């Protein structure tokens, strides 16, 4: 897939979720939080979610509306820790103002379960329409490919055929892997892509370790497999976050 298409996909997913840069300053509220804002208390009173995370607006506009995200309890199943995460928007005015769920902001955050589930949100990957088995397979493939050039080369060759040249983004990614700059790099998002019924395609978003100062770029690594077949790397692009 061309970089322009990857940029469109990054933009689509980014619109649905607040930027990660805001998370360190976020405040989490539960039903037991006495300091919870009235909008948050009203939401938790009728919702099955266990907490609402409130983040300051991005940038210097102090008059902008805060960012709200509700979260379910963490579940541990099939080797994966996960919880549902929903974007909330404030609607109405005066006494009728309330939080509403933005259906376009629904995500499942997942982490490989190597022990007790970590506390959200750190260590979790945002996923969209990704099953637990697909998440495990994608994470294992990335962990192996990002740590060794020979694994990356084998996965690229199996996904493209012998002799096909790598894209410029794939060549840069290979160089970064060879230098050890991507070993253990976290996967920020995984998105299932629409396509053929018998073929599964996913996009993994990973921060570019070689990006210039004041610049935020992502590697978009495409994985695919035919039903019943093995996973392979089928493409690499880059785009701005």
Q: What's the CATH code of the domain at 207?
A: 3.10.450
Residue 206, CA distances (Å) to 139, 217, 221 in order: 12, 9, 8
Residue 196: predicted pLDDT:
74
- Of 66, 101, 128, the last residue of a domain is 128
Closest CA relative to residue 241, chosen from 217, 208, 215: 217
pLDDT of residue 61: 58
Which residue range forms the structural domain that includes residue 8? 3-128
- Whole-prediction pTM: 0.81
pLDDT at 240: 67
Q: How many CA atoms lie within 13 A of 63 on its CB side?
A: 0
Average pLDDT score over the chain: 83
**Both 113 and 29 in a single domain?**
yes
Query: What is the number of domains present in the chain?
Result: 2
Distance CA 43, CA 35 (A): 14
User: In terms of domains, do 43 and 146 share one?
Assistant: no
**pLDDT band, very low/low/confident/very high, at 10 (cuts 50, 70, 90):** very low
70-124 pLDDT, tens digit per residue, is: 999 999 998 999 999 999 999 888 888 999 998 777 899 999 998 899 988 889 9
From 111, 128, 145, the end of a domain falls on 128
What pLDDT is recorded for position 86?
Answer: 92
User: Above pLDDT 90, what percent of the chain?
Assistant: 54
pLDDT, tens digit (0-9, with 9 covering 90-100), for 179-236: 999 987 889 999 999 877 788 999 999 988 887 666 668 999 999 988 888 999 999 9
Q: Both 147 and 121 in a single domain? A: no
Question: Which of the listed ranges 123-137, 154-168, 190-204 does the model predict with the highest average pLDDT?
Answer: 123-137
**156 lies in the same domain as 86:** no
Q: Which of 94, 110, 128 is the last residue of a domain?
A: 128
Same domain, 170 and 196: yes
The structure tokens listed for 154 are 């084998």
- Is 106 found in the same domain as 166? no
- Whether 117 and 152 map to the same domain: the answer is no
- Assess whether pLDDT exceeds 60 at residue 241: no
Asked whether the beta carbons of 224 and 198 are under 8 A apart, the reply is: no
For residues 85 and 150, state if they share a domain. no
């Amino acid at each position: 897939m061309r970089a322009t298409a990857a940029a469109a996909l990054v933009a689509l997913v980014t619109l649905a979720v607040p930027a990660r840069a805001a998370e360190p300053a976020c405040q989490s509220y539960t039903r037991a939080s006495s300091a919870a804002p009235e909008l948050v208390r009203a939401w938790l009173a009728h919702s099955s979610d266990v907490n609402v995370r409130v983040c300051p607006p991005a940038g210097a506009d102090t008059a902008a509306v805060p960012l709200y995200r509700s979260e379910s309890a963490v579940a541990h199943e099939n080797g994966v820790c996960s919880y549902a995460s929903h974007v909330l928007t404030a609607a109405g005015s005066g006494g009728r103002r309330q939080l509403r769920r933005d259906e376009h902001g629904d995500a499942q955050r997942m982490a490989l379960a190597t022990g007790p589930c970590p506390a959200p949100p750190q260590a979790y990957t945002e996923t969209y329409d990704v099953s637990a088995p697909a998440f495990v397979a994608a994470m294992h493939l990335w962990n192996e490919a990002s740590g060794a050039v020979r694994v990356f080369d084998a996965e690229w060759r199996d996904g493209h055929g012998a002799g096909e040249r790598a894209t410029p983004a794939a060549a840069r990614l290979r160089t970064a892997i060879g230098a050890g700059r991507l070993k253990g790099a976290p996967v920020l998002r995984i998105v299932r892509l629409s396509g053929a019924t018998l073929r599964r395609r996913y996009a993994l978003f990973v921060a570019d370790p070689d990006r210039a100062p004041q610049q935020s770029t992502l590697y978009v690594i495409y994985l695919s497999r035919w039903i019943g077949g093995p996973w392979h790397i089928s493409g690499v692009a880059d785009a701005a976050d």
